[in-house]
Structures are given as C-alpha cells and as structure tokens.
Structure 1
Amino acid sequence: MLLGVDPALREALSKLTNTALIARCADLPETGDAAVFTLRLLARRIQQLTAEVKELAHRVTKAVRHCRPQLLDVTGVGPDSAAALLIAAGDNPERLASEASFAALCGVSPVEQSSGKTQRRRLNRGGNRQANAALYRIVVTRLRRDARTRLYLERRTQQGMSKREIIRCLKRYVAREIYREIQPTPALAASSSAA
C-alpha cells in the first residue's frame, strides 16, 4: 500500500519502525486518496487486533494463575502452553493414573519401532495435538534459554542421537514435570471431594 501513496508521504513513513508506522498511519488525515484511506483503515485494524490479543492473553494468564499458579513458574511454560496442557488434562487431572498416562494423552509416550536388528523408539502420532505442540514449544524455549537442556542436547548428540529423537525425549521429560504440577495438592483434593 505504501507504493501507492504520495512519494513525500512514502519517504516519511519508510523510516519509521513498525509500531510508529502503524500509529502514524492510523492518524493520517482524510484526503480523499484511496491509498491513504486504506493505510489508515489497515493501521486501525492492526491496533484493534493488537488490543484484543493483549486482552485475551491477560485473560488466559489470569485463568491459568487461578487454576494452577505454579505451572507458569516452570521453565519455558507460558500462558498459552499452560492453558493447552490444562485443557488436555481436563477438569479431573486426578483421573490420570500416572505420568505415563499423561504422556500418552499428550502424544509423547515412546512408541517402539524396530526393523530387523535396529531397536528404536519414534514419536507418537496420537494424543492431543495441541498439548503435544505446547510441549514442543516448551522444549524449544528450554533449548534456547535453559543451560541444563542445552547440556543434555550436547550429551545426547555426542551419543549419536538425532535432534528429533532428543526433542522426543525432552518432551517426555517435560510431560513428567508438568504432570506433577497439574496434579491437585492434597488440601485442594480434600476440599473438592468434601463439596
């Protein structure tokens, strides 16, 4: 759209950052020019959608903090990932008998794959795909920011594992950690059973 506006305006807008560009375009005066009108319309829509995203992120964070506040303290877990994992666990996380059942629910339990002499495990294609994607996001975040996870990656790479196999193992470890966090505390379980 910037190509269709007056060259002087285009030059003034080209030097701005995205945030400043959107703010400036939203405040463009009405000139009767279709390109300027479209720029203003698009900028205002971006501002509106950005405000909606912030509001929804705030609400998701508030809901997760109300349900399981400790979950957001786990390394790499953000509000979206926490919400996806809590939704996968459902209203009765105590029905999950073990961390292995939670891992299977999330599609990160190992599946045996062998052909002849080779014994391997592969990624599970079943389970809740949103929970699986949340675990993947957590692992990727940890690979970038967590020293222990990077050391694990280096060690397993030296042992000859592929990055895909390492991520599968890490997703299982994260599922084990998340399972412990989503299980109701004894006081909470006692109060819900009494009600």
Structure 2
Amino acid sequence: MADILILYYSQGGATREMAKLIARGVASVAGAQPRLRTVPKVSANHEATEPDIPDSGDPYVELTDLEECAGLALGSPTRFGNMAAPMKYFLDGTSGLWLKGALIGKPAAVFTSTSSMHGGQESTLLSMMLPLLHHGMLLLGLPYSEPALAATSTGGTPYGASHLAGVMNDKPISADEKALCIALGKRLAETAIKLKHDN
C-alpha cells in the first residue's frame, strides 16, 4: 500500500474538514491509504504548547511519517497570506530529512482555508510549496479539466484546494470545494502509485 500523508494544522476546524475530504480522495484509489496527521500549536516564542499526544483527533506528525509516505498533502489556514506558525515551525525542523534527501521525488499537494475571499489563498498555497521544493518534492495542482475549478464561486485554485471559511468559520465547505478536495487527494494518490511502480 502507498501511504499518503495528509498533514494539516487547523484552528477553527475548516482545514481539518478539508483534510478529511482529501483523505476520501486518496482512499478512492486502489493501493493507496490516507495517513492523517496534525501539528501542535506553538507559543509566541515558537515553543510547542500542547502535550505530546493530543486529547482527541488525529495524532501529531513525526518525522518518520514523512519518511514513510509515498506522497504528501500539506494544509494550513491562512495567516496574513502565509501558512500558520505551527506548520512553519514543524517544517523548519525537517532539515535532517533534507540532508538525507528523504522526500526527493515524492509527489506533494497543498490546501488552505481563509476567512475572506481575497485573504491570501493563493499566496498561502505558494508559500507552502517553497519548503517542499527545497525537499525535492514534485508539486501537483488542480488542472482545469476539473469542472469545479471553473464553476466555483468560493474556494478552489489551480495551485491546490482552498475554502472560504468566513470570519467565524461559519461557512460550510461548498460542493465545488468538496469536489476539488477529493479530486486533489485522488490525483495525489494516483501519481504516488504511478511513481512507485516506475521505480
């Protein structure tokens, strides 16, 4: 089986819901299985502020999750057009994997949620791609052959899945946003399996 790591940070719950939809897309591909992981919050001085094991929900990610995965979907809410600090803090600690080249050649995709329509969805997705490029990963987006990409009036970009959550995280994930999350997971899993068989 090809394990697809779906690694996310979620504060209001929207990014977590997107991760579950991406997992559905992954699970729809024969030979692939999703592995959902999250990261803990950090304090203003960038120290982890939560216990080693979360009280509920998905487990915290470990570096071995990245080493073992056949592909990665990385998700974070937007913070001023960039990924949230807890995700950046975790990624900053992956230099050991970089030195080993552990992620080179693995496919990756990104996803985000924002409180406003022009709240930095695309810049957040692009900012999350940068460390993945440094790791030598192969980035996947959403092609316009996905009907929901042209139809959406909320989230959804060619750079990755996105969701317009609203200021209070009160906007449900739209049908188009759901379709794009599932499509992204499916595309990532299919690509990971193809790459695995080619090696």
Q: TM-score, normalised by structure 1?
A: 0.25
Bigger RCO of structures 1 and 2 (CA < 8 A, at least 6 apart): 2
Higher relative strand content: 2
